[in-house]
Amino acid sequence: MQWYSALFRVFLCVVLGLALGWYFDRPLAGAAVALLALALFWSYQMSRLQTWLKSSDPPPADLYGLWGDVVSQIHKQRRVAAENETRLQSLVDYLLESFASMRDGVVIVDAQGAIKWCNDMAAEMLALQFPEDSGQAITNLVRHPDFKSYVSAGDYADPLYLYTNGDSKRHLQVIITRFGKGDSLLFVRDVSERVRMDQARRDFVGNVSHELRTPLTVITGYLGTFLANTERLPDYLLKPLQQMDQQADRMENLLKDLLWLSRIESEERDEKRESIDIKALLEELKEELTAAHPRRRVLLRLSADGRVSGDYRELYSAISNLVQNAMKYSADDTPVTVGWRVGPDGYYLSVRDQGIGIDRAHIPRLTERFYRVDDSRSSATGGTGLGLAIVKHVAASHGARLQIESEPGKGSTFTLVFPPESSAEKVTMTEQRNGQC
């Protein structure tokens, strides 16, 4: 109904009142009575509309004019809303059903950290009871300390790995994704098999390396004896024996690095609590390297006083790998600068050289085992390609990250960034814990 027809009805009512009043010689009183009657009629209609709005009954059929229009509009909107609700509900049911049938655990947690929903798999893996636990804070029910600190830190960029100690001893991977207004979706996956395989691989590499050391010691021993008496050797044997000695040396270095890597990997879970004075470590390293390479200049730029909590031998070996790389891949007359300073997000240990640099395409793969930018070049320099893999593992187990900046022909800077609290915190290991490089 248009506004002007409603107005016309009011006007008609007033005119009728006036006419009736005229008949009794009281036109204004007639109009007032007509308006009053109209107001009473509207109030009655309004109260019926109000009663109907509170109910879910079908609309009353005897509401006329403007009120009838209002009722039919509201009814139409109610019907559309009900249809939408049914459609959304069936979509939610469908999604919940697909989550429920997943082999991974799924938990929906609200912005306050309370459980809203979880599937059977999550209930089993995290020892939850649903729907009984709905509304409870998840950190009160999953009482693993690593889980609590991971959730409260709120940084979900890397997944969390948990080891459940209860009846079912398993390794779980937890991935948290935020959605909506601060709600979170937790995916829980049983990765026990993968961890077991990684452990088996590590053990295998460690055992083989260990077993190979004894025969190699015998071979290098004999080679050393032969080469100590070169004057008694026939000429045609001298070169092959020297090459064998060189390759046996490489093999020895390779086994040493493999054993060291497998030791670091197996100790990653242990807490590292030794407080290390990095300045003193760098002074010692400089002394050792200048004794071995007297012609090389190693400059120390030490401006921070912070200490790092960790394993001295591991850190020494990682930093030594970086400095030796810097020496190996730069010219003898250029300096290698080692810096220790405070930066925006922690302590920065940087090793800078003015050497050959590395093409940008190789940088993401440098820390993979045996990865070398140029195989022929590395064979010439005697590298095993395990140095940066060791650095990466040591960094991860100390909560540090490795940054690599390099420009071909100008030089490279390798930086280990230690978090400010690295002295106190046990760091949650991510993929490295599972031995992925």
Ligand X SMILES: Nc1ncnc2c1ncn2[C@@H]1O[C@H](COP(=O)(O)OP(=O)(O)OP(=O)(O)O)[C@@H](O)[C@H]1O
> Contact residues for ligand X (CB under 6 A)?
257, 321, 325-326, 329, 353, 355-356, 358, 366, 371-374, 378, 383-388, 412
Nearer to ligand X, 126 or 373 (CB): 373
Q: Residue 236's CB: how many other CB atoms inside 10 A?
A: 7
Nearer to Mg ion, 45 or 367 (CB): 367
- Write down the least CB distance from residue 361 to ligand X, Å: 12
First-to-last CA distance in the chain? 74
CB 172 within 8 A of CB 188: yes
Q: Binding to Mg ion by residue 357, rule CB under 5 A?
A: no
Q: Binding to Mg ion by residue 385, rule CB under 5 A?
A: no
- Write down the least CB distance from residue 379 to ligand X, Å: 9
Instruction: Pick what 329 binds: ligand X, Mg ion, none; C-beta below 5 to 8 Å, kind-dependent.
Output: ligand X
Nearer to Mg ion, 387 or 411 (CB): 387
Q: Binding to Mg ion by residue 422, rule CB under 5 A?
A: no
Instruction: Pick what 356 binds: Mg ion, ligand X, none; C-beta below 5 to 8 Å, kind-dependent.
Output: ligand X
Nearer to Mg ion, 263 or 307 (CB): 263
Q: What is residue 361's DSSP assignment?
A: G
CB 21 within 8 A of CB 30: yes
Backbone dihedral region for residue 346 (phi beyond 0: left; psi -120 to 50: alpha; all else: beta)? left
Nearer to Mg ion, 162 or 319 (CB): 319
Nearer to ligand X, 30 or 387 (CB): 387
Contact range with Mg ion by CB under 5 A, out of 86-94, 108-116, 325-333, 341-349: 325-333
- Write down the least CB distance from residue 280 to Mg ion, Å: 24
Amino acid symbol at 272: K
Instruction: Pick what 125 binds: ligand X, Mg ion, none; C-beta below 5 to 8 Å, kind-dependent.
Output: none
3-state secondary structure 119-163: CHHHHHHCCCCCCCCCCCEHHHHCCCHHHHHHHHHCCCCCCEEEE
- Write down the least CB distance from residue 359 to ligand X, Å: 10
Q: Binding to Mg ion by residue 325, rule CB under 5 A?
A: yes
CB 125 within 8 A of CB 105: yes
Q: Is 354 helix (H, G, I), strand (E, B) or coil?
A: coil
CB 156 within 8 A of CB 177: yes
Tokens, residue 384: 């095993």
- Write down the least CB distance from residue 356 to ligand X, Å: 5
Q: Is 105 helix (H, G, I), strand (E, B) or coil?
A: strand
Q: Binding to Mg ion by residue 387, rule CB under 5 A?
A: yes
β-strands 411-418, 346-352 pairing: antiparallel
Tokens 């405070």 — which residue?
Answer: 342
Backbone φ and ψ of 53, nearest 5°: -60, -35
- Write down the least CB distance from residue 245 to ligand X, Å: 18
Nearer to Mg ion, 195 or 400 (CB): 400
Tokens, residue 170: 């398993």
Count each helix (H run) and each strand (E run) in the chain, helices first: 12, 12
Nearer to ligand X, 17 or 383 (CB): 383
- Write down the least CB distance from residue 212 to ligand X, Å: 17
- Write down the least CB distance from residue 391 to Mg ion, Å: 8
CB 246 within 8 A of CB 380: no
Residue numbers at the binding site for Mg ion (CB under 5 A): 325, 387
